[in-house]
Amino acid sequence: MGLKPSYKPLEITLIRKDKTKTDLKRDLKISPATLAKMSKGENVALSVLISICEYLECKMDEVIELVEDKETPTE
């Protein structure tokens, strides 16, 4: 099994910082497509993650974590 990104830590950090995904979209100019990728647990650019960390004044592990991808077939 491979690894895939999970953005659950971002959800928690947004709540702690009293922010929303709408704030990210508006203040950081993050596209709706990027937010959709995050909602689906897909890869997004590292530069986006860094921008989010700077904006929320947090560490990377408060935005993203790697989890096992149970959908990836084993060889």
Q: What angle separates helix 21-28 from helix 46-56, to the nearest 10 degrees?
A: 110
- Name the architecture of domain 2-66: Orthogonal Bundle (1.10)
> What pLDDT, on a 0 to 100 scale, did the predictor assign at position 45?
96
**Would you call 75 helix, strand, or coil by DSSP?**
coil
For residue range 47-57, list pLDDT tens digits in order: 999 999 999 99
Would you state the pLDDT for residue 33?
95
Which residues on neighbouring strands pair with residue 3, listed in sequence order? 68
- Per residue in 64-74, pLDDT (tens digit) is 999 998 875 65
Asked if 64 and 19 touch (Cβ cutoff 8 Å), the reply is no
Cβ atoms of 47 and 37 closer than 8 Å: no
